[in-house]
Every structure is written in C-alpha cells, then in structure tokens.
C-alpha cells in the first residue's frame, strides 16, 4: 500500500473514532435542540456594535458565524460547533502525520489522545472551545515558527483568556523539548508568546473601534470573591482533581515521571507547571472540563508526542 493510501486510512480511522466519541455525549441532543448557551449567537449578531459582556473577548467564531450568516439560527451555530468538535481528532491526525512521518507513532498518538482527552466526548456545544482547541493543538504539532505565531494569534482571537494560558504552556514545553533543536525551540517559544501578545493588541484595537467596554474575567473573579471559589472547591474536592478524567491523569503522571527519569528536568517542570495552570483556570471559573481542556491541550499534545518519540527511540536501542 502506498504512503498516501495509508495516510488516508489513518485519517479515516480518526474520523470514525471522533464520530463514535461525539455521539457518546449524554446530553448531545438535549443541548442541540434547546436554547441553552445562546449568548455567543446573540453576540455574533451584535459583534460590530458596542458590547460589555466578558465573553465578547472571543470574537473569532462569532465573527465567522456572522460573515457566513450561520448566526441567523441558533441550531445552525450549534451545528458549526459540532463540526469543529468532530474535526479535532482528524485534524490532529493529519498534523501528526506531517510531523512524525511514522504511521505507527501516529496511530498510537490517535488512540492515546482519543482515549484520554475526555473533551471529545463531554463537550458543550455553543462555546468557541473546539475552534480554540483546534488552533492550539495545531500550533503544538507545528515546527514552523511563523505558522505557530499565526495559529496562536487566531487562538487568542477565538478565546483570549484561555488561549493565553494555553500559549504559556505551549511556549514552555517548546522551550525545553528534548526532541527539537535548541535554536528552533527558542524560535517556537518566542512565536507562541508573540502570537498571543499580538492577538491582545488586535483585540484592544477592535474594542476601541467598536466601543467595547468589557467586564473582564478579572472583574468576574473579584466580584465573586475568593470565598466563592474556595467553597465550590471544598464542596467537591475529588471532582475538582478528577476534572480531566483518570485516564488523562494516569498518562500525564506516567509521561512526566518518565521524563524525570530521563533527567529531562526542565521539560518535566514545564509539564507540571502547565497542568497547574490548567487546574488554576478551573479553580477560578465555573465550567470545569471545557476550561481544563482548552488550557491544557497544547502542552498535553507536546508531552504526548515527546513521550511517543522517546519510547520509540528507546525500543530501537533495545533492538
């Protein structure tokens, strides 16, 4: 079989797995045909007018919906979110094929990611999460600094607050990656940070032009007060720590421990810091898994790809 044919089969496999996971969502049809999570559609219709809501920092998906007239219907908007969610695994598969050039490694990546990244099954339609996850994940799978810059920039427009956390994690793991040359590591890390900074500059210009006066997420946190978040945490401590699911946590601990054993200390510390940022994001918000998934996806992919490469390298030495 030709390489092209094998790649088509692998991407086809990822599509099948993605759809199987998508339809496992227990509240899919309830949410799809309800009026829940309609505020981004409402925002899309007024995107070129003055806005104050904190979620108006997420302009990319509502802008796409407005330009394509998808925002004329809440159901159509949710279908768009559904399509983007189903594309996550196939797109990551395609990018990993280009990166790894090894079909066995790619299949392992697809299966590991699908089994451990629970957002693919427990998503919520209506938020810009799938678009942000796609952009951050593609950035983590790219080794071209300009492309990383562009992808992080658009991720910042898709959901700035969460993309900021995600970009920091990506930059740190790029900087200390054991499988990327030092000069390229630095360039990729800089591109990640520049991408999110330019996104913030663009948003500031957008706010000025269209007279946005947003209630920031910081205002939301300060208004709620620390006690509110502590009380929520104490009401379900186990649920908080198990937000990403046991399979995710087992793999994260295994991979991080493996790199500690290999004495890739800075890379391991970067992975630990990234997941700490994701947990912090969950602590100061009220949306659990979707927040965790967006903020960790880039760092998680970098950790997983590096782990697969390291194990493959170790097995070759044994042979």
SS3 content of the chain, % helix, strand, coil (to 5): 80, 0, 20
- Please tell me the predicted confidence (pLDDT) of residue 226: 77
Q: Please, which residues bridge with residue 100 across strands?
A: none
For residue 107, the model assigns a pLDDT of 96
DSSP 176-240: T-TTS-HHHHHHHHHHHHHHHHHHHHHHHHHHHHTT-----HHHHHHHH-HHHHHHHHHHTHHHH
- Confidence (pTM): 0.96
Query: What separation in angstroms does the CA of 110 have from each of 93, 208, 232, 302?
Result: 6, 42, 34, 13
Domain hosting residue 231, numbered range: 3-318
Residue 59: which of 155, 192, 134, 130 has the closest Cα? 155
Spans of the chain below 50 pLDDT: none
Count of domains observed in the chain? 1
- CB-CB contact of 45 with 77 (8 Å): no
Q: Taking Cα atoms as reference points, which of 294, 61, 60 lies closest to residue 168?
A: 294
SS3 call for 127: strand
The CA distance from 52 to 64, in Å, is 20
Question: In this predicted structure, what is the pLDDT of residue 230?
Answer: 85
Longest dimension (CA), the chain: 64
Q: What pLDDT was estimated at residue 319?
A: 60
Crossing angle between the packed helical segments 160-175 and 182-209, to the nearest 10 degrees: 170
CA distance 163 to 95: 20
> So what's the pLDDT on residue 179?
94
Q: What CA–CA distance (Å, rounded) separates 116 from 292? A: 13
- pLDDT in the model for residue 296: 98
Cβ atoms of 304 and 113 closer than 8 Å: yes
pLDDT at 286: 75
pLDDT of residue 265: 96
Residues 6+ apart with CB under 8 A from 146: 191
pLDDT, tens only, 283-298: 988 788 999 999 999 9
Distance CA 238, CA 51 (A): 38
């Amino acid at each position: 079989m030709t390489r092209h044919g094998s790649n088509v089969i692998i991407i086809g496999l990822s599509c099948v797995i993605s759809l199987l996971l998508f339809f496992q969502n227990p509240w899919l049809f309830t949410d799809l045909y309800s009026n829940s999570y309609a505020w981004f559609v409402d925002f899309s219709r007024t995107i070129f007018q003055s806005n104050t809501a904190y979620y108006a920092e997420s302009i990319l998906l509502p802008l796409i919906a407005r330009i394509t007239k998808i925002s004329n219907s809440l159901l159509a908007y949710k279908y768009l979110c559904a399509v983007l969610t189903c594309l996550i695994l196939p797109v990551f598969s395609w990018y990993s094929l280009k990166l790894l050039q090894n079909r066995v490694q790619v299949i392992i990546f697809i299966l590991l990611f699908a089994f451990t990244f629970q957002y693919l099954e427990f998503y919520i339609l209506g938020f810009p999460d799938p678009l942000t996850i796609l952009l951050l994940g593609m950035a983590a799978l790219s080794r071209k600094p300009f492309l990383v810059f562009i992808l992080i920039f658009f991720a910042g427009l898709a959901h700035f607050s969460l993309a900021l956390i995600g970009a920091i994690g990506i930059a740190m793991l790029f900087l200390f990656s054991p499988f990327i040359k030092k000069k390229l590591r630095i360039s990729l890390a800089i591109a990640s940070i520049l991408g999110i900074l330019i996104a913030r500059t663009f948003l500031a210009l957008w706010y000025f032009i269209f007279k946005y006066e947003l209630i920031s997420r910081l205002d939301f946190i300060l208004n709620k007060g620390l006690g509110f978040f502590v009380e929520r945490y104490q009401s379900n401590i186990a649920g908080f720590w198990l937000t990403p699911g046991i399979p995710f946590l087992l793999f994260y601990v295994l991979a991080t421990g493996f790199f500690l054993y290999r004495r890739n200390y800075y890379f391991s510390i970067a992975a630990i810091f990234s997941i700490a940022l994701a947990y912090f994001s969950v602590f100061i918000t009220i949306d659990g898994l979707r927040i965790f998934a967006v903020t960790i996806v880039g760092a998680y992919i970098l950790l997983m790809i590096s782990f697969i490469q390291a194990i493959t390298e170790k097995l070759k030495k044994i042979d």
